[in-house]
Amino acid sequence: MIVQFLCRAILLGVPILYGSTGEIITEKSGHLNLGIPGIMYVGAISGVVGSFLYENACGNDIEKMNAALAILIPLLSSIVGAVLMGLIYSFLTVTLHANQNVTGLALTTLGIGLGNFLGASLISITKSELPSIALTKTSSFFSVKAPFADKLGPVGELLFSHDFLTYLAIAIALVASYVLNRTRVGLNLRAVGENPATADAAGIRVSKYKYVATCIGSAIAGLGGLQYVMAYASGVWSNNAFGDRGWLAIALVIFALWKPSIAILGSFLFGALCNANNYIQGLGAETQELFKMLPYVVTIIVLIITSMRKKREYQAPESLGLPYFREER
Amino acid sequence: MKDKAVAKKKHEPLFHVVKRDDLAWWQVWLIRGFTIVLGVLLVIFFSMMITGKSFDKTFDIMFRGVFGRLMKGSTTMLWKYLQEIAILLSLALALTPAFKMKFWNCGAEGQALMGGLASIMCMIELGDRLSYPVLICVIAITSILAGAIWGLIPAIFKALFGTNETLFTLMMNYIATQIIAYYVYIKGGGSNVINPVEAGNFPKVGNNDYFVNIVVVAAITLIMYIYLRSSKQGYEISVVGESQNTARYIGINVKKVIIRTMVISGALCGVTGMLLVAGKDHSINVNSVGGQGFTAILISWLGQFNPFIMAIMTAIVVFLRIGVAKVADTALLNSSFSEIMVGLVILMLVGCEFFVRYSIKFKRKKEAKA
């Protein structure tokens, strides 16, 4: 029971982890990307379109499908879709100095619309009775488990029973943490986010860093959408099912104090909180609805506590949200 | 020598960006107007691409989807259009004082939902106990209070500790959503639907359901214009928005202004919730506001804090939303297509601000050679 609960928490937490790792990298360059929910949507639907086309090309026959292609095609299309969204965002905010909040929110509108439109179009192509599209074959490739997971009992199930995108998420978060804190590139990126004018004077190419950070961040966030569809929902896309996970990812950035390594544990905690209502005994359906607000309440509490303590290393990058124009000092 | 020249040429950018001196207001609006026209044309073009219909036909469907058979004297659709504008505009108006203060209130959705919740609770619980005028008054007061409280909570923490308001208000949306889900579950007997309530509906004027809503929002538009432009509080808001240090220096109590402005902002969102519940749906569910809180943020920003321009922007956005959805509908496509198009036009408008604030100077050939 407890193992099942924890596994479920991890599964639910991973899309949020992808989203917030991506957002942390973006925010370190000084850009508050509120388009992340839309970007995750686009990442998810691009992956769905990619695997849909591949499944159809193979005549919907799992025997003909190549495992490597079945994974690579959705993975790449998801990344491409998300990076395109990231490029729109960075072109508008970096090159055109547009307002970041407004751009991000418009991008979210666009992304969710795109996801629902393409999703609905695919559903009408398949002429399925249900308002969803099932890619269970592709999903089966994504959710291959380590063969020795079952033999090791509960510990094995907890540590080794997940799909590879889950491990990838943790790996990406750890690598991001290392790059941000231990390498020159990370140091430069943080400098850009803290004070772009100083970074510029030191010879760092500010715009390039901002572009690259935003696009890499978007690509990672897009994978979160893909993980949600392929692993959590076992390959079933239905419109609006992704819900508000994108906003939770942005909340997790603050919860994790802009540190990807803390985000790993934070995302599992969020997953557990999202799921707690199903595991507490004797809750009526109406009280379950109240329990679903737990992750948001916890985020608010963390938000308040961090703002009260005012420790410098717990704060957002100094110039987060401010546009940088070289000739204006 | 030749190599050096080539290397030097590489480093010379083709153009550079210069900050403009202030443009005349008509030049600014020429740029924005041009962008809007371009955006609408693009939207029609994309609609033509996916539906395969001609330009005339597409525009015709859009126009009739929004205005109905106006030429034949039927005004039902027109009133619906005005009603949609009223709801979105009232949310945008509610956010504007907060934005002018540089307080990113992303919680319009939650504040409106709480206002709506107060309305529906009054309608259900007190509907048969109070006389009609008293009931309407109670609905108005409780809705405004509920919205104001939902706006007050993040404002207090912002004023005292500088807590990030963007995320705080965002999270408050989802808490409001779950409270609504809880209430709807209880009252709807587990069906996720509350049947329309008869008591406490706004009166029909003539044969028109939405007249009251539209008049209320028109009044708010006018009052907000005067409030921001000519009142002392409006002045304080703009000073706090420009620079908190300046505000402190000239003796404005910044904390008080932040809290007061957010109470006003939340209260107006509460009014929107009341208009939605008592004036339109007579019921409530988690999607009653339907993400319009975010669109309202965009409208408020596009309108440059001017309520009348915001009204025009709302009219355009709602026209696109309904019209494109109709086009997609007639071609048996999903109506989310309209969200994409609205997003596209807004992104274009966001981008065009660049040309308002900056100009691009191309390197002339002669200079490059010299």
Closest listed residue to residue B357, CA positions, set A95, A97, A196, A206: A97
Quote the CA–CA distance of A260 and B291 in Å, as a whole number: 30
Domain residue extents for chain A: 2-314
Residue B273 and residue B114 in contact, taking contact as beta carbons nearer than 8 Å: yes
Pairs of residues, one from chain A and one from chain B, whose beta carbons lie less than 8 Å apart = 154
The matching CATH number, chosen from 3.40.30, 1.25.40, 1.10.3470, 1.20.58, for A2-314 is 1.10.3470
Across the interface, whether the CB atoms of A327 and B18 are under 8 A apart is answered yes
Question: Which of B21, B99, B287, B340 to substitute to test the interface with A, most A CBs within 10 Å?
Answer: B340
A164-195 in b/e burial notation, b at 16+ Cβ within 10 A?
bbbebbbebbeebbebbeeeeebebbbbbbbb
Nearest to A307 among B164, B344, B358 (CB): B164
A96 at the B interface (CB within 8 A)?
A: yes
Chain B positions in Cβ-Cβ contact with residue A304 (cut-off 8 Å): 157, 161, 163
Residue B370, pLDDT score = 43
DSSP string, A220-282: HHHHHHHHIIIIISTTEEETTTTTTHHHHHHHHHHHTTT-HHHHHHHHHHHHHHHHHHHHSTT
Residue B7, pLDDT score = 47
Instruction: Kindly identify which residue of chain A lies nearest to residue B183, measuring between CA atoms.
Output: A286
How high is the mean pLDDT in each 10-residue block of chain B (370 residues)? 48 74 82 91 88 84 81 78 93 94 90 94 87 91 96 94 86 91 84 81 79 92 94 93 90 93 96 92 86 89 89 92 88 84 91 85 58
Closest listed residue to residue B326, CA positions, set B32, B79, B75, B63: B63
**pLDDT tens track for A65-122:** 788 888 899 999 999 999 999 999 999 999 888 888 889 999 998 999 999 999 888 8
Quick one: A115 exposed, middle or buried, by C-beta within 10 A (0-12, 13-18, 19+)? buried
Residue B221, pLDDT score = 95
Nearest to A97 among B174, B185, B354 (CB): B354
CB atoms inside a 10 Å sphere around CB B242: 13
Residue B369, pLDDT score = 46
Residue B65, pLDDT score = 82
Quote the CA–CA distance of A164 and A227 in Å, as a whole number: 9
Question: Which of A300, A310, A322, A329 to substitute to test the interface with B, most B CBs within 10 Å?
Answer: A300
CATH of domain B2-369: 1.10.3470
A125 at the B interface (CB within 8 A)?
A: no
Mean pLDDT throughout A151-168? 78
Q: Which two tokens stand for residue B115?
A: 């206002």
Instruction: Kindly identify which residue of chain B lies nearest to residue A308, measuring between CA atoms.
Output: B161
**pLDDT tens track for A41-57:** 999 999 999 988 888 88
Nearest to A254 among B164, B181, B337 (CB): B164
Residue A303 and residue B164 in contact, taking contact as beta carbons nearer than 8 Å: yes
**pLDDT tens track for A115-157:** 999 988 888 887 777 777 788 778 888 777 766 666 777 777 7
Q: What is the ipTM of this complex?
A: 0.86
A299 at the B interface (CB within 8 A)?
A: yes
Share of chain A above pLDDT 90, in %: 40
Nearest to A289 among B181, B298, B346 (CB): B181
Of residues A25 and A162, more confidence is placed in A25
Quick one: B22 exposed, middle or buried, by C-beta within 10 A (0-12, 13-18, 19+)? exposed
Residue B259, pLDDT score = 95
Across the interface, whether the CB atoms of B171 and A303 are under 8 A apart is answered yes
Residue A329, pLDDT score = 53
